[in-house]
Amino acid sequence: MKNKVLQGLCLLACTFIFALPVWAEEISNQDLQYELRKTQEKVKTLEKILQERIEPAKFEGEVKEREQDLHDRVSKIEKTMESSEEGGLLDSLAERITIGGLIEVGAVYASIENDDGSDEDDTDICLTTVELDLGIKVNEWVNADFVLLYEDPSFGEETSFDVDEGTITIGSTDQCPAYIAAGKMYVPFGAQLTHFPDDPLIDQPLTLAFGETSEKALRIGFERDGLACSAYAFNGDLDEAGSDDAIESYGFDVNYTLDDEALPYGMSVGASYISNVAESDGLTDGLGVDEIDDYVGGAAAYGHLDIYDFFLDAEFMTALNHFERGELAVGNGDGAKPSVWNIEAGYNWNWGKNLEIVLKYAGSDEAEGLGYPEDRYGINFNQEIFKGVIGSVGYIHDEFDRNDIDNRDDRDLLFSQIAVEF
């Protein structure tokens, strides 16, 4: 009995001994599984925490990166716009717009002897000219130009301020030799060549007083290889008696210029015609009538020559028919056929700054009713002081026809002028 008990105890002990590792193993696997689950939960918790912390940071980083990229793009666009609007636009305007001008201040002394033996001395200082020129290149084929002009004639004559010129020109002579211009302009009648201070300081040259014609006109032209031709039409201020207020006046000008730096000389020659010479500013004022019986045509011829430092200018203008005696007459009462001329010769002496020395002979025929001198002699010195600054001093002697409208016999003029051109 006792042995059976012992055998049972031994069997139980052996069973316990062999089962212990299995149980122990089962306990370890459970613990491991538990720990694994705990670890997995912790990992999930950590992943959630990291996701909550890291993802926003990543999002914020992306936002900041995108904001920086957007800022860089905006900055680039702003710089491009600034370059276009400030630099580029200003550069574009600078290329398209040209501005120029002229300011002249003069002083003059006049000694006049009259036909009756009396004499008079006059002196004056005046702001002779203030001129502002503006040119606008609208595009390759269209240009707009206008000139504002203030003039203060000597000896108390009436000052003026006006839009002197205002034109629109269609055409590019660089690409096409033909062009068309319309607006207020000086129509091309003669060239009014001079190296003296011009009107209104000392009322010269005579060709300017006789031929300068400012009108609202239409002009067509052609320029190629030094040859320039133009024709124009306008409705002037002085019409024929009984005619309609219409575009009836016209004219043309042809000139050729040779300017080759390889040659020791240069030259230009030209000729003009106008159907109604009375439309010139000087004649319209001088005639003093509102209408004329018949239009009187006018012609002009002019030329310029320079050889080395010497130059010669010559110009002649004339009416082609006689005016009626009630319009413009000579001393015997007949209708006048006025003409004027101007000849100047000179030398450019470059002694470091250029000094221009000019001699003049000018005159008129059958123009005593306009107050023009019959003969004019003069000398003038133009000294370059700075670039764009010219000082002038000169002398003119006038001899008048015995039937001069102002009863003058002769006149001596001493003058000086400072001109600034920009």
Place of tokens 């005016």: 323
Q: How far apart are CA 112 and CA 420, in angstroms?
A: 30
In angstroms and rounded to an integer, the radius of gyration of the C-alpha atoms of the chain is: 48
In sign, the C-alpha dihedral spanning 228, 234, 236, 242 is: positive
Please tell me whether the overall predicted TM-score, pTM, comes out greater than 0.85 for this model.
Answer: no
Give Cβ neighbours of residue 12 (< 8 Å, ≥ 6 apart): none
Question: How far is residue 52 from each of residues 48, 57, 59, 66, 196, measured CA to CA in Å?
Answer: 6, 9, 11, 21, 93
Could you tell me the two tokens for 8? 């049972």
pLDDT at 58: 52
Residue 65: other Cβ atoms inside 10 A: 10
Closest CA to 320 of 271, 379, 369, 358: 271
Instruction: Tell me if 17 is assigned to some domain.
Output: no
- Asked if the structure places residue 58 within a domain, the reply is no
Domain of 171, in residue numbers: 98-421
| Contact call for residues 330 and 320 (beta carbons, < 8 A) | no
Q: Which residue has the tokens 């839009």?
A: 163
Q: Taking the CB of residue 357, how many other CB atoms lie within 10 A of it? A: 15
Q: Determine the pLDDT at residue 19.
A: 43
| Separation of alpha carbons 295 and 276, rounded Å | 5
Print pLDDT tens along the chain (422 aa): 444 433 443 444 444 334 434 433 444 555 555 665 666 666 566 666 656 555 554 545 555 666 666 667 667 656 655 555 555 556 667 788 999 999 999 999 999 999 999 999 999 999 999 999 999 999 889 999 999 999 998 887 788 999 999 999 999 877 889 999 999 999 999 999 999 998 888 888 999 999 999 999 999 999 999 999 999 999 988 888 878 888 999 999 999 999 888 888 999 999 999 999 999 998 988 887 888 999 999 999 999 999 999 999 999 999 999 999 989 999 888 999 999 999 999 999 999 999 999 999 999 999 999 999 999 999 999 999 999 999 999 999 999 999 999 999 999 999 999 999 99
Give the Cα separation of 148 and 162 in Å (integer).
6
Task: Please give the pLDDT value at position 89.
Answer: 56
In a domain, 49, yes or no: no
Residue at 403 is within a domain: yes
Among residues 327, 313, 315, the alpha carbon closest in space to that of 241 is found at 327
Tokens of 39: 């670890």
As beta bridge partners, residue 179 has: 221
* Three-class DSSP category at 290: coil
Whole-angstrom Cα distance, residue 291 to residue 62?
87
Place of tokens 């290149």: 137
Does the residue 340 lie in any domain? yes
By the 8 A CB rule, do 335 and 325 touch?
A: yes
Within a domain: 85: no
H or E element that contains 396:
strand 389-399
- Determine contact, residues 396/376, Cβ cutoff 8 Å: yes
- DSSP H or E stretch at residue 49: helix 2-82
pLDDT value of position 44? 66
| 3 phi-psi bin (left φ>0, alpha ψ -120 to 50, beta other) | alpha
Q: What are φ and ψ of residue 186, in 5° steps?
A: -90, 110
Residue type, 204: Q
- On the question of a cis peptide bond just before residue 264, with omega within 30 degrees of 0, the verdict is no
Are the C-beta atoms of 100 and 421 separated by less than 8 Å? Answer: yes
Inside any domain, residue 26 = no
Residue 1 DSSP code:
-
Please indicate, yes or no, if residue 73 is contained in any of the structural domains: no
Q: Residue 153: which CATH number?
A: 2.40.160.10
Task: Determine the Cα–Cα distance for residues 199 and 79; give it in Å rounded to an integer.
Answer: 52
pLDDT for 17 equals 39
The distance of Cα 145 from the centroid of its chain, to the nearest Å, equals: 7
C-alpha 97/C-alpha 89 separation (Å) is 12
Strand pairing report for 339-350 and 310-319: antiparallel
Per-residue tokens: 37? 């689950």
Q: pLDDT value at position 245?
A: 84
How many independent structural domains does the chain possess? 1
- Grouping H, G, I as helix, E, B as strand and the rest as coil, residue 207 is helix
